[in-house]
Amino acid sequence: MKPAARAPTALWVPAALACALFLLPLVGLCWRTPWPQLGDHLASEAVVQALALSLECSAAAALLALLLGLPLAAWLAAGESRLHAAVRVLVTLPMVLPPVVAGVALLLAFGRNGLVGGPLEAWLGVAFPFTTAGVVLAEAWVAMPFFVLTVEGGLRALDPRYAAAAATLGAGPWRVFRTVTLPMLAPALRAGLLVAWARALGEFGATITFAGNLAGHTRTMPLAVYTALETSPEAAIVLSLLLVLVSAAVLFALRRQWFPAR
């Protein structure tokens, strides 16, 4: 990708304002960070607990996205029917819905009085609200679309002639998928997993609505920020800073996928 034509000088002022808009909250965060006590805050039990829970749940959500989302992406990439279009809208919906709406909807489906939540709890003993499983479900719900759409894009960009060649050489569809398609898809898979994981890590609205807020069980990092803000703003600031760093690291890892080398 080549740089676009030089922008007129007059546009620099609004462009700088936009940068300031993005930068100022981060500066504010750093400005209020209690640097001398940073280590103590990071080592506190509440932070360690929330961080561990966040990492576990977001990794589980990303794994769920991989297991369920990869087949879905493969199906979506293989057709153009009305059903495909409808499913694509369905998959995209969680990306644009306010997460708190997602939380309410999840409660009505998987809650104790929900569509399937009641039977699930009665027959299998699986309860989602107020459990860590609920956190994973909420995170997977909001994060999987990012994985599916990324991987679908990757699949559509593949040159179909490689798969066709493998097929003419006698490989069955499963073997073609495994030995030709998947290896070529690796960059898209990696990108999809990372972005889904990052979205899951930052999930707040659906989690607090659907899974509640209890330390060690459902209080992930964003919920810990929300809870700490009222009682110990310094701890909330440290947690926020940690989340900013993690997110920035993800962006850095993804820079080649999103901003291809010039």
Partner 1 sequence: MKGGRVRRSPITTTLGLALALPLTLGACGDEAVAGRRVVVFAAASLAPAFGELATAYERRHAGTRVELHCAGTPRLVLQLREGAPADVLASADEPNMARVVDRHLVVGAPVVFARNRLAIVTAAGNPRGITGLADLARADLRVVLCGPDVPAGRYARQALAGARVAVSSVSDEPSVQAVVAKVRLGEVDAGIVYRTDVAAREGVDMVPLPVEHDVVATYPIAVLASGGDREGGAAFVAFVTSADGQAVLRRFGFEVP
When asked if residue 111 is in the footprint of partner 1 (CB under 8 A), the reply is yes
When asked if residue 98 is in the footprint of partner 1 (CB under 8 A), the reply is no
Closest CA to 44 of 260, 254, 242, 247: 242
When asked if residue 80 is in the footprint of partner 1 (CB under 8 A), the reply is no
When asked if residue 240 is in the footprint of partner 1 (CB under 8 A), the reply is no
| C-alpha distances out from residue 9 to 6, 15, 16, 20, Å | 9, 10, 11, 17
Binding mask 168-207 for partner 1 (x = CB under 8 A): ----------------------------------------
Using the contact rule CB under 8 A, the part of the chain among 65-73, 78-86, 108-116, 161-169 near partner 1 is 108-116
When asked if residue 26 is in the footprint of partner 1 (CB under 8 A), the reply is no
Neighbour-count burial for 124-157, b at 16+ CB within 10 Å, e otherwise: eeeebbbbbbbbbbbbbbbbbbbbbbbbbebbee
**How far is Cα 241 from Cα 103, in angstroms, rounded to an integer?**
26
When asked if residue 75 is in the footprint of partner 1 (CB under 8 A), the reply is no
Residues 200-239, interacting with partner 1 (CB under 8 A): 212-215, 218-219, 227, 229-231, 233
Q: Which is nearer to partner 1, 191 or 237 (CB)?
A: 237
| Conformation bin of residue 243: beta by default, left when phi > 0, alpha when psi is -120 to 50 | alpha
Distance of closest approach, residue 21 Cβ to partner 1, in angstroms = 5
DSSP count for the chain of H helices, then E strands:
13, 0
Distance of closest approach, residue 109 Cβ to partner 1, in angstroms = 12
Q: Which is nearer to partner 1, 19 or 90 (CB)?
A: 19
Phi, psi of 171 (to 5 degrees): -80, 135
